[in-house]
Structure 1
């Protein structure tokens, strides 16, 4: 795929497209510290083959999109002791507006928004802030608030393990992290994880960017009350064995949005196992078609 770029206010967003621009559009929003290539090419193609244009992109502060280097490394010390942080250089709302600015740049009126983890939080904000532009919302292993479905200690420790300093370390770190947060009911794709982590390191290595994203998650607070008023068709997908955003996060999201539907997967953790792709894509596509 060829990398395209769009100027979205002060932020340049790098993105890629699959499928025909004449088809309804599904926008895929990725999670914390994770570049758009984590939406695997084949996963994107599976959705596109069902008659959708698929757009994936790098959030601000990750990959090939604008990095907020001038903001430096945030002080996350209070989080380590269960406290609160009060400042961040931007909020999830700003990341949601980046998403919609990209949609504007593409000249698309309304889209289906699918977000995973932090991407699910951003997708929720997109639907809350721009409900008239969102045909459907799919929130995958996410939560309406940072303290709902909070990570198990070992999962939090894995996520905050020291960043890689070489391509080789990046591959090793990814495997080590997903041994903790991945799906216990499915084989871990160590070769694929290693390859994507090394490619991500080559594309952009910026350890401070994900920490600024993490600050945004916590400073943005809880969306539960706002979600009670959301009238966008909503699907919630969650792994029953997710240690990073525990299943409570998915249940709370579904309970907050009137008329939403919750689908859980036994043996699935905080990743998208290859064996579940057909079922996950089937759910996303059926939900989008029903909303259309």
Structure 2
């Protein structure tokens, strides 16, 4: 039986929540909508094309998009580079960090995109910072969430273990100065985040790095996104109000968002299911796609069946 590729619409840019948002869709336009929200400094293409196609083949209209300040979506201004003193004041003196916008604003971007696309509610899947944004959507716009899947993310609870020093050094490193340096740094970064050897993924890093470079970099935007995370505080108490069926996926060897972040997320949302994946770091390695896609598929379809 021949394998058919689900419909893949080219990227488009629309105005949502007053900002240009670049998005792309895979699958039948009438299928269950599933929105993918990417993490800090990561363009929508980090949701691999094949990953999106495989989800679409399960009966979803898959939508991925560039968050504000990244890729081909609108760029903002202000913020300035994060200073170590600000981080120390936040951590030890609880002095709030200044930020041009917060995760709640990024949640509004997602809701704005859904409105433009005529989508009243969708299955929301977020990775890392995208998981934080997805949580904000589930808290503030419960009617828009058919199901929530939070991957390698956290609640913002300040009592949880911080990222490792090596991970923080990676986040705070000065941006690369050339295309070649960017491609090299990209490969080094993802090798660190995967926390293991994944040759199939490593073989693709160069092409993906070149693609993200060509789509456009915005180091200042990455800094503003980091400020948004730090300025948004803890969602732990508010997560108790989430009604959407929730799946939490986290790797057991995540070097950036400690596995306790996933456990805390699941513990904070009533009825949430927790799936810890052995050997998974802060990435979605190709060998683990079947397990991850099966879980998202089963969770979303189960939620849809209950709602019917």
- TM-score interval (norm. to shorter): over 0.9
* Aligned-partner SS, 2:237: helix
Aligned counterparts of 1:85 and 1:156: Cα–Cα separation in 2: 19
* Aligned-partner SS, 1:59: coil
Q: CA deviation at 1:159?
A: 2.3
8 Å CA contact 1:184–1:241 kept in 2: the answer is no
8 Å CA contact 2:167–2:255 kept in 1: the answer is yes
Of the three residues 147, 157, 177, the one matched with 1:136 is 147
Q: What 5-or-longer segments of structure 1 have no aligned partner?
A: none
- 1:110 matched to 2:121? The reply is yes
Cα deviation digits, residues 183-207 of structure 1 (max 9, x gap): 3264472231222122111111211
- 1:284 matched to 2:279? The reply is no
Aligned counterparts of 1:184 and 1:79: Cα–Cα separation in 2: 32
Of the three residues 64, 73, 81, the one matched with 2:80 is 73
1:55 is matched with: 63
8 Å CA contact 1:159–1:177 kept in 2: the answer is no
Aligned counterparts of 2:84 and 2:227: Cα–Cα separation in 1: 11
* Aligned-partner SS, 1:5: strand
* Aligned-partner SS, 1:267: coil
Q: CA deviation at 1:231?
A: 1.1
Cα deviation digits, residues 56-98 of structure 1 (max 9, x gap): 00000000000013x1524433355455552100000000010
Aligned counterparts of 1:250 and 1:205: Cα–Cα separation in 2: 29
Of the three residues 126, 130, 133, the one matched with 1:119 is 130
8 Å CA contact 1:149–1:248 kept in 2: the answer is yes
- 1:32 matched to 2:40? The reply is yes
- 1:248 matched to 2:260? The reply is yes
Q: Which sits farther off after the overlay, 189-198 or 36-45? A: 189-198
Q: What 5-or-longer segments of structure 2 have no aligned partner?
A: 1-8
**CA distance 1:143–1:198, change in 2 (3 Å):** same
1:93 is matched with: 104
2:19 is matched with: 11
What TM-score results when the alignment is normalised by the length of structure 1? 0.95
**CA distance 1:178–1:85, change in 2 (3 Å):** farther
Aligned counterparts of 2:23 and 2:179: Cα–Cα separation in 1: 23
Aligned counterparts of 2:303 and 2:13: Cα–Cα separation in 1: 29
The total of aligned residue pairs comes to 291
Q: CA deviation at 1:262?
A: 0.3
Aligned counterparts of 1:78 and 1:285: Cα–Cα separation in 2: 44
- 1:183 matched to 2:191? The reply is no
> Superposition RMSD on alpha carbons, in Å?
1.5
